[in-house]
C-alpha cells in the first residue's frame, strides 16, 4: 500500500509561510496548512474564518502567516474567497492562488451554504478543510463531522450517555455531488499524498476542495507526540479514506487489503474511553458498509 510520488522531501521549499503559531503542541492543522503553503508558494491569498487557526495565528502584534491573509466571519469563508477571486480577476492577477482554510465546523455546519454556492458557481478558489472532528477552538463541542460514539462536551459519555449518537456527515460526497472540477480527501499522516493533491488542485481552474483529516491531541485526548500515529491508524483501520474526485470520476488512492481492528485506533483516545467491545463491533460494521458503498462507486 504505497502511494506513487513525484515529490522528494528534500526538493521542497525551506521557506516557512506559517511559523510561530500559538496552536497546541502536536497540532495537525498547522502541519496541513504549512505543507499546503509550501506547495502553493508565496503568491497565495489566504482567508480564515473563526477557528483554531484564526485564534492562534493573530496574537497582536504577532502575525504567523507570512502571506496575504484575512480573517472573516464564521459562515463566510467561501463567500469571502469568492470575492477575493473576483477581485484578483479584475486586477488581472493571474499567478495568485486564493485559498480558504476552515475547520470542520466552519465547513460542514456553519459554512456549508456558502461553500455550496462557491462550488455551484465554480469560482476559481481552493478550499481546504482541516477536520479535527469537533469545534476545538471553543472547547470541544460536537460538530456534524464528529464520529459516532465520540465524547464531546455537548455529547457527553457516562451513565446512560454514550457520546454522539449520530454518524458523521460525508462532506466529500456532498462536494462531489456539486460536480466540481476537483475534490479530494487527505490525511496529515500521508504528507506526500496531501502535497500531491494540493499541487494537482493548484494546476486546475475552478472550485477545488480538499478535506484533510487532522488529529487533535487536546480534543481527542492523547499525548501530543502521537498525532501522526493516530492519523495513520485512522486510515489503516478504514475509519478515514484517501479519495479523489476528478472529471466526474472517483478514485481511491489507498485501499487497505485488510483493515486493522478499529480498537487499535479507538482505545488510546480519551473521547472513546467509554466504549465497549460491542461499540467497536458496531463501528466496524458501519465501516464495512461505508467501504462497500465506496468500492461500488469506484467500480461503476
Q: What span, in angstroms and rounded, lies between the C-alpha atoms of 2 and 196? A: 14
Q: Which three cell numbers stand for residue 95?
A: 499567478
Segment interacting with another protein, rule: CB under 8 A, options 25-33, 141-149, 159-167, 199-207: 25-33
* Closest distance of CB 71 from another protein, Å: 10
Of 1, 2, 6, 9, the one binding another protein (CB under 8 A) is 9
In the range 73-92, which residues lie near another protein by CB under 8 A? none
227 in contact with another protein (CB under 8 A): yes
What binding mask, one character per residue, do residues 187-216 give for another protein by CB under 8 A, x or -?
----x-------------------------
* Closest distance of CB 192 from another protein, Å: 9
Grid cell 496531501 — which residue?
Answer: 194
Q: What span, in angstroms and rounded, lies between the C-alpha atoms of 222 and 150? A: 14
Segment interacting with another protein, rule: CB under 8 A, options 47-55, 81-89, 138-146, 223-231: 223-231
Segment interacting with another protein, rule: CB under 8 A, options 14-22, 111-119, 160-168, 254-262: 14-22
How many chain residues touch another protein (CB under 8 A)?
41
Of 86, 174, 228, 250, the one binding another protein (CB under 8 A) is 228
Classify strands 157-158 and 126-131 as parallel, antiparallel or unpaired: unpaired
Q: What span, in angstroms and rounded, lies between the C-alpha atoms of 54 and 59? A: 9
Radius of gyration of the chain (CA): 18
Q: Which three cell numbers stand for residue 46?
A: 489566504
* Closest distance of CB 164 from another protein, Å: 26
What binding mask, one character per residue, do residues 36-75 give for another protein by CB under 8 A, x or -?
-----------------------xxxxxxxxxxx------
* Closest distance of CB 299 from another protein, Å: 34
What residues make contact with another protein under the rule CB under 8 A? 9-10, 12, 14-23, 25-28, 30-31, 34-35, 59-69, 191, 217, 223-229
Amino acid at each position: 500500500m504505497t502511494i506513487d510520488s513525484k515529490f522528494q522531501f528534500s526538493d521542497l521549499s525551506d521557506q516557512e509561510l506559517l511559523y510561530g503559531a500559538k496552536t497546541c503542541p502536536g497540532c495537525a492543522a498547522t502541519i496541513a496548512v504549512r505543507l499546503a503553503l509550501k506547495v502553493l508558494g508565496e503568491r497565495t491569498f489566504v482567508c480564515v474564518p473563526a477557528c483554531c487557526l484564526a485564534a492562534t495565528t493573530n496574537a497582536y502584534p504577532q502575525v504567523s502567516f507570512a502571506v496575504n491573509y484575512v480573517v472573516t466571519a464564521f459562515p463566510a469563508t467561501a463567500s469571502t474567497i469568492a470575492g477575493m477571486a473576483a477581485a484578483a480577476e479584475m486586477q488581472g492577477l493571474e499567478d495568485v492562488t486564493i485559498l480558504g482554510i476552515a475547520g470542520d465546523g466552519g465547513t460542514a455546519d456553519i459554512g456549508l451554504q456558502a461553500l455550496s454556492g462557491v462550488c455551484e458557481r465554480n469560482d476559481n478558489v481552493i478550499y481546504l478543510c482541516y477536520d479535527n472532528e469537533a469545534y476545538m477552538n471553543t472547547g470541544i463541542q460536537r460538530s456534524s463531522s464528529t464520529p459516532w460514539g465520540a465524547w464531546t462536551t455537548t455529547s457527553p459519555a457516562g451513565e446512560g450517555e454514550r457520546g454522539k449518537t449520530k454518524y458523521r456527515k460525508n462532506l466529500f460526497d456532498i462536494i462531489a455531488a456539486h460536480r466540481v472540477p476537483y475534490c479530494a480527501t487527505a490525511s496529515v499522516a500521508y504528507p506526500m499524498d496531501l502535497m500531491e493533491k494540493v499541487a494537482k488542485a493548484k494546476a486546475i481552474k475552478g472550485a477545488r476542495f480538499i478535506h484533510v483529516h487532522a488529529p487533535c491531541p487536546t480534543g481527542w485526548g492523547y499525548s501530543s507526540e502521537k498525532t501522526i500515529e493516530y492519523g495513520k491508524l485512522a486510515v489503516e483501520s478504514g475509519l478515514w479514506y484517501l479519495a479523489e474526485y476528478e472529471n466526474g470520476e472517483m478514485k481511491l488512492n489507498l485501499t487497505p487489503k485488510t483493515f486493522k481492528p478499529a480498537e487499535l485506533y479507538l482505545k488510546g483516545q480519551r473521547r472513546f474511553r467509554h466504549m465497549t467491545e460491542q461499540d467497536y463491533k458496531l463501528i466496524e460494521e458501519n465501516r464495512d458498509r461505508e467501504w462497500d458503498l465506496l468500492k461500488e462507486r469506484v467500480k461503476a
